[in-house]
Amino acid sequence: MKYEVRIAGKSRIVELLRDGAFWQIMLDGVETNADVAEIGPGVFSILLGGASHEVRVAPNADGSLTLQDGPNEFRAEVADSRTWRGRKHGGVEAEGRQQIVAPMPGKVIRLLVKPGDKVEAGQGLFVVEAMKMQNEVKSPKTGTVEKLSAKEGQAVNAGDVLAWID
């Protein structure tokens, strides 16, 4: 998954790929490997570059995150990975028939559209709940909802096809 993260006003591009117990992490295009284990709710043990970190992650009411690593505390804003992939560049949006996939494992808690609905790029299609947070899945293009394959209450895995937009 690819994220745009803003910490202290500085934007960084973070890409995460899980490989068994390890994570392949790209930070602004530079690769590193990390050993990450969740040791409690919102608490992660991270071995990164030979250094051990215990990082506490807490969501804030405004959608940002507070990250605490020992005495260091950071406030982070994560730009939605779906909006990153579907972001308009110079006014260009996704073209052709698009599959809409679940960005993470979770549960579809709300359908915001039905087959045949006209949608705009960036319009919400579904709400998926993951780790007690609600995430809106948005359309990458202006078009028509061709088919829905997800239902309210359905558990989904990352990458499961939820809909098609034409």
Does 108 share its domain with 152?
Answer: yes
Q: List the domain range (segments joined by +) for residue 12.
A: 2-79
What are the DSSP calls for 45-59, one per residue? EEEETTEEEEEEEEE
34-51 residue pLDDT tens? 777 778 777 878 887 778
- Count CB atoms within 10 A of the CB of residue 162: 22
Q: Which residues contact 96 (CB under 8 A, 6 or more apart)?
A: none
**Higher pLDDT residue, 141 or 22?**
141
86-103 pLDDT, tens per residue? 444 334 456 678 888 887
Q: Does residue 65 sit in the same domain as residue 119?
A: no
**C-alpha–C-alpha distance, residues 57 and 61, integer Å:** 13
The answer to whether residue 92 sits within a structural domain is no
Check whether residue 45 and residue 105 sit in a common domain. no
What's the whole-number average pLDDT of the chain?
79
| In a shared domain, residues 74 and 10 | yes
**pLDDT higher than threshold 70 for residue 4:** yes
**Same domain as 156, residue 103:** yes
pTM for the model stands at 0.46
| Number of domain units in the chain | 2
Last residue of a domain, one of 79, 108, 125: 79
Q: Is residue 136 part of a domain?
A: yes
Evaluate whether residue 114 is within a structural domain.
yes
Note whether 6 and 72 are same-domain residues.
yes
